[in-house]
Chain A
Amino acid sequence: MRRLIIASLITFFITSEVQAKNSSPQTPPQTTPDKPRSALDPERLVEEWMKRLNALDSWHLTVDGKEEGIEDVVNSMMELYAPDVLAEVPPHDEDQSGSVMLRGSMLLRKWVEKIARTQVRLNYIRVAQTMKEFNGVQPLFTTPLPWGGVGISFQIIGAWSMREDRLNKRFMAPGAVFLQFGEDGKIQRLRLYLTEITRVVAG
């Protein structure tokens, strides 16, 4: 009798333990705590960069030859960059060869101003892709950066005309953009590659 009571108690104890374990809320497996997700929205950041790039020709000369609005479009573009930005951009014309390394926003501003002053009808677009049932997707490749912020790359096609002869000097080129944004949303690194710059001949 005594043995039966002990056996019953043991069985009851084990059963209640198992039940207690099963009824406790499930906890996720132990992992390192997730880093706080970046608040940066890659789509919005890229859209803003493209918009301001394409707006660089949105200024005009007054009848007495004064430049009106160029400061605004340049300032608008430069707002996106950190003061110590490092940029690698393509040569500006056929009389330059090799990539142009620009250190700091002062030099980058000169490059932006040069685009604004010499190019018109800017039309940089993101390359669209169709795959399976997905139509016209413009992929962005993003990665969180170990030091914070986000790296974004995407394919583009650029088209522009030279202000000096906007009808006859139009160019286009496929290319790629690599942007690194800091946590503050400012661009810390820019690499813009344009390949096979081709003169567009009007048909």
Chain B
Amino acid sequence: MKGTIFTILCCVCAVLPIAAQTAAPEGMALIPEGKFWMGRVYAYDLYSVDVVARDRYDDVPANNVYLDAFYIDKYEVTNADYAKFVEATHARAPWHWPGGKIPNGEERFPVYNVNWSEATDYCKWVGKRLPTEAEWDKANRGGVDRATFAWGDDKFDNSEPQMLAVGPDPKHNPKPVPAALNRNGAMAIGSFPPNGYGIYDMVGSVTEWTSDWFDPDYYRFMPKVNPKGPETGKYRSVRGSNWANSAAGTSGSEKLRNYFRNFADPEARSITLGFRCAK
């Protein structure tokens, strides 16, 4: 009997740390450690053979990058979340909030019109941080490596002015599922089905701040282990497409691609720019 109890205790002790390691904080998803291909892995698409004129080669070459495990918010930070921060720290409310209060019925909408510093401060306040560009990139891919879109390489019907969302399980059902797009602004969080890591709205509602400076030439010589971006810069890296991006046409679909990069002035407050935090 004594032996049985001892054995059970040993098992519990062995399992507890593993359980603690894998249990993600509430509202966050665990992104496992390991390598992934960051950047455009397709050397010869329309752009690189000059069929379509392009002045930016910021997404090549692709690099096989190793990241430690990390957590990232499943949803973008909402107006309701940000209102608590504003109240507690007397930070500046987004300018479009009437009287400093959340617009009616938009509690679960992603917060926007916050600049990079405000986003950084919010993440610190909740004990987190902004994700690096590499972390955002890996999280966005949902475990589908070296693919054009978060749901795989499948093309989509861009004849309709609609944004795209992935199926409920992109690993097993890689067909993109069109979702109606509110083209007048951001949508409530969770408007699009989750990707393979269980993360919502990486492609769709608002573009998101990352902690990195932006350098269009960064991928040429980037570190291959836990890259944290250039040491300095003028703009910050922002990732993900937003409600104002059309999915139609080559340039529209380009913004939905996993490797699409963009940048913004860190002081900018934009109706298309929000964020989520990592840990």
Q: Which residues of A contact B (CB under 8 A)?
A: 91, 94-103, 107, 110-111, 114
Contacts and interface: CB of A to CB of B under 8 A. Distances in A.
Contact of B63 (A96, A101, A111, A114): A96
B4 to A, nearest CB: 50
Interface stretch (B19-27, B37-45, B84-92): B37-45
Contact of B64 (A95, A99, A110): A95
Interface residues of B, number: 18
B62 interface: yes
Interface of B: 37, 39-43, 48, 57, 60-65, 217, 220-221, 224
Nearest to A91: B61
A56 to B, nearest CB: 17
Nearest to A88: B57
B220 A102 contact: yes
B231 to A, nearest CB: 14
A161 to B, nearest CB: 20
A99 B217 contact: no
13 contacts: A91-B61, A95-B65, A97-B37, A97-B61, A97-B62, A99-B43, A99-B48, A99-B61, A100-B60, A101-B220, A107-B220, A111-B221, A114-B221
A103 B62 contact: no
B221 A110 contact: yes
Nearest to B60: A98
Given A98-B39, A101-B57, A107 B217 contact: yes
B62 A98 contact: yes
A98 B220 contact: no
B145 to A, nearest CB: 12
A91 B64 CA distance: 12
Given A110-B220, A110-B221, A98 B43 contact: yes
A98 B61 contact: yes
Contacts of A96: 61-64
Contacts of B221: 110-111, 114
B63 A100 contact: no
B194 to A, nearest CB: 28
B220 A97 contact: no
Given A110-B221, A111-B221, 20 more contacts: A91-B61, A95-B63, A95-B64, A95-B65, A96-B62, A96-B63, A96-B64, A97-B37, A97-B39, A97-B41, A98-B39, A98-B62, A99-B43, A100-B220, A101-B220, A103-B217, A107-B220, A110-B220, A111-B220, A114-B221
Contacts of A95: 63-65, 224
Contacts of A102: 217, 220
Nearest to A94: B64
Task: Pick the most buried of A98, A100, A102, A107: most chain B CB atoms within 10 A of its CB.
Answer: A98
- Which 9 pairs from chain A and chain B are nearest by CB? A98-B61, A95-B64, A97-B62, A98-B43, A101-B57, A98-B60, A96-B61, A100-B61, A91-B61
A49 B42 CA distance: 30
B53 to A, nearest CB: 15
Contact of A99 (B37, B60, B65): B60
Contacts of B61: 91, 96-100
Contacts of B48: 99
A101 B60 contact: yes
